[in-house]
Chain A
Amino acid sequence: MIQLLANWILSFDILSGMGISVAWGLSLFIVAALIFVFVAANAIVLVYIERKVSAFMQVRLGPMRVGKFGTLQTVADALKLLQKEDIIPRSADKVLFIIGPWVILVASVVTFAAIPFSDTLLAANMNIGLFYIVSISSIVVLGIVMAGWASNNKWSLYGAMRSAAQIISYEIPVGITLIAVVAVVGSLNLQTIIQEQAGTGNLFHWIPIPLPNWFIFHSPFLFVAAFVYLIGATAEINRTPFDIPESESELVAGFMTEFSGLRWALFFLSEYANATLVAFLVSIVFLGGWQSPFADYEGTQIGFSIITLVAIMWTLFVRAKTGRLSVYPLGLSLVITIAAWLFPGFAIWMASPGIFWMLMKAGGIIFMLMWFRWTFPRLRVDQLMYVSWKVILPLSLINLMGVAIWMWLTGEIQF
Chain B
Amino acid sequence: MSYFSNISSAITTLVDGMKVTMGYFVRPREHVTLQYPDEVWPIPTRNIGVGEIESYNTIRSKLVVDFEDCIGCKACERACPVDCIHIETFKAGPDEDIGTTKNDTKIKLRVTSFIIDMSECMFCDLCTPPCPEDCIRMTPDYQFISNDNVKLAVTPEERWRDRDHLIYEFSKVSPIERAQRQADAEKVAAAKAAAMEAKKAAAEKAAAAKAEQEAREAEKARAEAATATDSEAPPSPFISETPVDSAEPTPINIPTMESAPEPEPMDRIEVPMETIKTPEIPEVKPVSTETTAEPETSSEPDSSSEPENSSKGETENG
User: Which residues of A line the B interface, CB within 8 A?
Assistant: 53, 56-61, 64, 318, 322, 324, 326, 371-372, 374-376, 390-391
Q: Which chain A residues lie closer than 8 Å to B27 at the CB level?
A: 59, 322, 324
- Interface presence of B268 (CB below 8 A): no
Measured between alpha carbons, how far is A58 from B26 in the docked complex, in Å?
11
CA distance A53 to B25 in the complex (A): 7
Residues of B within 8 A of A58 (CB): 24
Question: Contact between B17 and A376 (Cβ–Cβ < 8 Å)?
Answer: yes
B14 to chain A: which residues have CB within 8 Å? 375-376
Q: In residues 186-230 of chain B, which contact A (Cβ within 8 Å)?
A: none
Residue from the list A53, A322, A326, A371 in contact with B18, Cβ < 8 A: A371
5 further contact pairs, Cβ within 8 A, besides A56-B25, A57-B21, A60-B32: A57-B25, A58-B24, A60-B33, A64-B35, A322-B27
Q: Is B29 an interface residue (CB 8 A)?
A: yes
- Chain B min CB distance to A26 (Å): 46
Residues of B within 8 A of A390 (CB): 3
26 A/B residue pairs, CB under 8 Å, sorted by A: A53-B25, A56-B29, A57-B21, A57-B24, A57-B25, A58-B24, A59-B29, A60-B32, A61-B29, A61-B32, A61-B33, A61-B35, A64-B35, A318-B26, A324-B27, A324-B28, A326-B26, A326-B28, A371-B18, A371-B25, A374-B21, A375-B17, A375-B18, A375-B20, A375-B21, A376-B17
Q: Establish whether residues A371 and B24, one from each chain, have CB atoms under 8 Å apart when the complex forms.
A: no
Contact, CB under 8 Å: A59 / B22: no
Residues in chain B near residue A57, CB distance under 8 A: 21-22, 24-25
Chain B, 128-163, CB within 8 A of any chain A CB: none
> B11: nearest residue on chain A (CB-CB)?
A227
Query: Does B50 sit at the interface, judged by CB under 8 A?
Result: no
Interface: B233 (CB within 8 A): no
Bound Cα distance A64, B28 (Å): 16
> B26: which A residues are within 8 A, CB to CB?
318, 326
In which size bucket is the chain B interface?
10 to 19
A23→B256 CA distance, assembly (Å): 104
**Alpha-carbon gap, A60 to B24, bound state (A):** 10
Contacts of A326 in B (CB 8 A): 26, 28
Bound state CA distance, A99 and B125, in angstroms? Answer: 67
Write out the residue numbers on chain A whose beta carbons fall within 8 Å of the beta carbon of B17: 375-376
Is B32 a contact of A371 with CB atoms below 8 Å? no
Q: Does B7 contact A (CB under 8 A)?
A: yes
B143 CB to nearest chain A CB (Å)? 17
Contacting residues, chain A, for B7 (C-beta < 8 A): 391
Chain B nearest CB: distance from A67 CB in Å? 14
* Alpha-carbon distance between A59 and B25 when the two chains are bound, in angstroms: 8
Instruction: List the B residue with the shortest CB-CB distance to A314.
Output: B26
Given known contacts A64-B35, A391-B7, is B22 in contact with A371 (CB within 8 Å)?
A: yes
The residue on B at minimum CB distance from A53 is B25
CA distance A322 to B26 in the complex (A): 11
CB of B179 to closest CB in A, whole Å: 44
A390 CA to B10 CA, complexed, in Å? 14
Q: Tell me which of B20, B25, B26, B35 has the highest count of chain A C-beta atoms within 10 A of its own C-beta.
A: B25
Residues of B within 8 A of A318 (CB): 26
Closest 5 CB pairs of A and B: A375-B21, A57-B21, A375-B17, A61-B33, A56-B25
A59 contact set on B, CB distance < 8 A: 24, 27, 29, 32
B33 to chain A: which residues have CB within 8 Å?
A: 60-61, 64
Could you tell me the distance between the alpha carbons of A39 and B33 in the complex, rounded to whole angstroms?
33
Interface centre among B7, B22, B32 (most CB of A within 10 A): B32
- Which residues on A sit within 8 Å (CB–CB) of B22? 57, 371
Residue of A with least CB distance to B15: A375
Closest A residue to B18 by CB, please name it. A375
How near does chain B come to A318, taking the closest CB pair, in angstroms?
8
CB distance from A56 to the nearest CB of B (A): 5
Residues of A near B3 (CB, < 8 A) are 390
Q: Give chain B residues whose Cβ lies under 8 Å from the Cβ of A60.
A: 29, 32-33
- Complex: chain B residue closest to A368, CB-CB: B18
Name which residue of chain A comes closest to B19, CB basis.
A375
B residues near A322, Cβ cutoff 8 Å: 27
- Give residues 29-49 of B contacting A (CB, 8 Å): 29, 32-33, 35
Give bound CA distance, A318 to B24, whole Å: 12
- With A and B bound together, what is the CA distance between A335 and B24 in angstroms? 25
A239 CB to closest chain B CB (Å) equals 15
- Cβ distance B29 to chain A, nearest Cβ, rounded Å: 6
Nearest-Cβ distance from residue B82 to partner chain A, whole angstroms? 37
B217 to chain A, nearest CB (A): 93
What's the least CB distance linking B224 to chain A, in Å? 102
Task: Judge whether B28 and A371 touch: CB under 8 Å.
Answer: no
B16 to chain A, nearest CB (A): 10
User: Which of A59, A64, A372, A375 is packed against the most chain B CB atoms within 10 Å?
Assistant: A375
Asked whether A56 lies within 8 Å of B24 as measured between CB atoms, the reply is yes
A147 CB to nearest chain B CB (Å): 31
A60 to B27: give the CA distance in the assembly, Å: 11
Minimum C-beta distance from B19 to chain A (A): 9
Within the complex, the shortest CB–CB distance from B36 to chain A, in Å, comes to 10
Residues of A within 8 A of B32 (CB): 59-61
- Give Cα A390 to B33, complex, Å: 45
State how many angstroms separate the Cβ of B171 from the closest Cβ of chain A: 37
Give the shortest distance, in Å, between B39 (CB) and chain A (any CB).
Answer: 11
Closest to B14 in A: A376
CA distance A376 to B15 in the complex (A): 10
| Docked complex Cα distance between A61 and B22 (Å) | 15
User: Which A residues lie within 8 Å of B29 (CB)?
Assistant: 56, 59-61
A125 to B100, CA, bound (A): 89
A324 to B18, CA, bound (A): 20
A226 CB to nearest B CB, Å: 14
Tell me the bound Cα distance from A59 to B27 in angstroms: 8
